[in-house]
Amino acid sequence: MAAAATTSRRKKTFAWLCLLVSIAPAVVSLNRGLWIGLGVVLLYVSARYVLAGKLWVLGALALTTAAISVALAATPLGSTVQARLDNGKSNGVRAFLTEKAVEGFADSPVIGYGGTRNTLGGRNSITVGESSECERCGNFTIGGNGQLWQLLYSHGAVGTVGYLGFFAYGLWRFRSDRSAIGVAGGAALVSSFSAMLWYNSLVTPLAFMVLAYALLWRNWIEGTSGMSDRTERQSPEVNNGLAGEGRERMRKAGTA
């Protein structure tokens, strides 16, 4: 998004270099959730640009996929990824906690329990617990394996619908924002929906989600949400006209 938003060739080149350099640490991090999130963002951004008529993105997506495939096949990154996929040590615990969260939601489906709870023991026995030799054994936090499960268990259907509805409304309300900020803000919200299956949003991720929402709203207020990047750079008359429309929106919002 930074590469698309800037008009400076030097900054654009620097942004692309940073993106390329970040691939290696992202793979070496062994974070499967990060990999899935990046894939979701890539597909979402590509879809937004294709819908905006920028079909060249399909070619860029194909080249990116090919480059990643070559990197995985010709470098140690491929064996690193495969080793991580073959050793999903947290899968059993996550499945256990998901089951407990769903059971809790079934017992209190409307408003939940108001917070998380700890399990009695571990997934294999109730006698498993923390000790000096294993500080992370047993007593797992129900709802600690994903924002969705925490919402269902702690806040029930009411809280879950309210939380998801708030951010889903933002995606729908500002879906026509074709600016770089608009696409980046939408991507942040979409990726959070995929990550909620295995990661919790408190505190920093939720702060970035709200910031993305605020940026989308600011674009709408300022009247730039319907502008493409090229329009922002090349059409000052249109820019001034939409800015005036944004001021009118702000005036109406202030008097409502």
- Give the pLDDT confidence of 96-152 residue by residue, as tens digits: 999 999 999 999 999 999 999 988 877 777 777 777 777 777 788 999 999 999 999
Q: Are residues 205 and 231 in the same domain?
A: yes
- For residue 226, being part of any structural domain is answered with yes
Query: How far, in Å, CA of 239 to CA of 18, rounded?
Result: 30
What is the Cα–Cα distance from 161 to 132, expressed in whole angstroms? Answer: 41
Domain membership of residue 237 as a residue range: 174-256
Establish if 160 belongs to a structural domain: no
Mean pLDDT calculated for residue range 241-251: 56
Residues 104 and 125 in one domain: yes
pTM, two decimals, is 0.79
Is residue 208 in a domain? yes
Domain boundary among 124, 155, 186: 155
Q: HSE-up of 40 (CA within 13 Å, CB side)?
A: 17
Nearest to 183, CA basis, from 48, 58, 51: 48
Give yes or no for residue 211 having a pLDDT over 80. yes
Both 192 and 242 in a single domain? yes
Residues across the chain: 256
| Cα–Cα distance, 29 to 80 (Å, whole number) | 10
Phi/psi for 242 (5° steps) reads -70, -30
Amino acid at 98: T
31-61 pLDDT, tens per residue? Answer: 889 989 999 999 999 999 999 889 999 998 8
Residue that finishes a domain, picked among 68, 88, 108 = 88
Residue 235 belongs to a domain: yes
Short-list 1, 2, 81, 78, CA closest to 35: 81
pLDDT in tens, 66-105: 988 888 888 888 888 888 888 777 888 899 999 999 999 9
Q: Which secondary structure element, helix H or strand E, spans residue 160, and what is its range?
A: helix 147-173
- Domain tally for the chain? 3
